[in-house]
Structures are given as structure tokens and as C-alpha cells.
Structure 1
């Protein structure tokens, strides 16, 4: 009985996974700094829930971004950083990334109207290790960070 139940659950898991897109199953590598920026060329169509960048800073290749959004808590929030990998050859170089925010609330669901702030960190190392110094911009916001070699 237990063996049959285990096999059934395993088969169901495989069946559900098969219907997911590659993006949904993608694993994000993390370091001590946080999730590694996702370099994807070409960039897929990515949508984001509403948020505001409160501030951003860099400590070496570790980017910290503080965002605010409405909600009951930041616990269901998911944030990812994506780039197409392009580096504009100027002095300093210019680079961009898209911060994708999911508030964890369904499209037609209600949420609290409290404004909450949370800080997220991202490892830019795989993307920017050879492109410093750079002016790093978050697409769709007026946020830029000067990142210099250590």
C-alpha cells in the first residue's frame, strides 16, 4: 500500500512538472551575497507586480536593493534580478538589469494596503566580474549604482 502510494505520488509529481515551463522549473543559484543575477539572452517577457525602489547600493559585486510595496507582509514576496548580459563599452561601462517582483497575491485577490519595505541582495559576480567599473541601472526605475573594483 505504502509502495503504491509512493509510486503514485512520484508519478503525479512528474506529470505536474512536465506541464511547467522551463522558467518555472529553473533553479536559481545563491551565494553568501544572495541569489546570483540571471543572465538570459534573449530576455524572456517578464512581468512584475507594482513596487518602488527605495534605495540601492553595492558592496563589491553584492547589490542591495530596498523596495516598498503594499501588502500584509513581505513573506510571500519573490524577487529576481535578470539581465541580457550586455555591457556597453564606455568608461565606465554601462550595464542594466530588470528587477522582477511578485507580491504573492493573485490577480483578483485582495491584500492589505500597508506599505512594507524589504531589502534584497543579489550577487552580480558572474555578470560583472570583468566589466568594472560600471554604472549599473535597474530598468524601469530611476535607480543607478556606481560599482567600482575592490
Structure 2
């Protein structure tokens, strides 16, 4: 599947930039460079995904403080699982930005510089990520409310 993804990217980039081909190199050399760059981009994205998966795994292993009320303890664990799940469902850019700022503690300006992104653009992605996470978390049924309605 990875090869098909890269091939599709190569085809799209080739078609998009065919007008800029100046003929100084052979067409095969030019397409090879496009293919090489697309492969490297794909590998970088996979490494980013792997690091994020490792962070999510680390979050899963983080011990939550033991709360006095067992129901509160269950709710805390449930909330952490939900956050990990929602994090993996964010679009890649929002996930990266949220990871750097919210999980790793970088300042938005530092994260923007690291990602070579305009700071205002980064803030928009962060805002969207937070809104989506909040919306999804609020949409989840609350255990206590459900239990309270049953009995």
C-alpha cells in the first residue's frame, strides 16, 4: 500500500509541475527526483506517526493518581483513554501541533518554528484541534448521568 501511495503522489506532483520541466535533465532523472522526494516525505510521515503512536502508548502507561472515590478513578482512566483515541483521529497537522504544544509543552511560537509554519496558522490548527477534542469529549455519554437515570 505504501508504494501505491507514493506512486500516486509522484503522478500528481509530476502532472502539477510538468510545466516547470526545462529539459536540462532527462525526463527519467527528473521523475526519479520527484519519486525520491516523495518517498522521503512518506518515510518522514511514517516516522512522525510512529513517534505519535509511541507517545499515545506512553500516555496509556502513565499512572493516574489514585483517587479516593472508585467512580472518579474509573472516570479518570476512561477520560485518558478517550483523549488518546481522539488524538489519533485528528488530522495530521492538528495532531502534530496539539502534540507539540499540549503534550510536549512547547510554546506556540517554538512549535511554529519547528514545523516551519506561520505562528498564526499554527494557532488556528491548535484551536481547531482543541475544539474538536472538546466537542468529541462532550458528546460522550457520562457514566454517572447514565447510572443516575437507571436507578
Higher relative contact order (Cα pairs below 8 Å, separated by 6+ residues): 1
Tell whether the structures are fold-level matches, with TM greater than 0.5.
no
Say which structure is richer in helix: 2
TM-score normalised by length of structure 1 = 0.29
Say which structure is richer in strand: 1
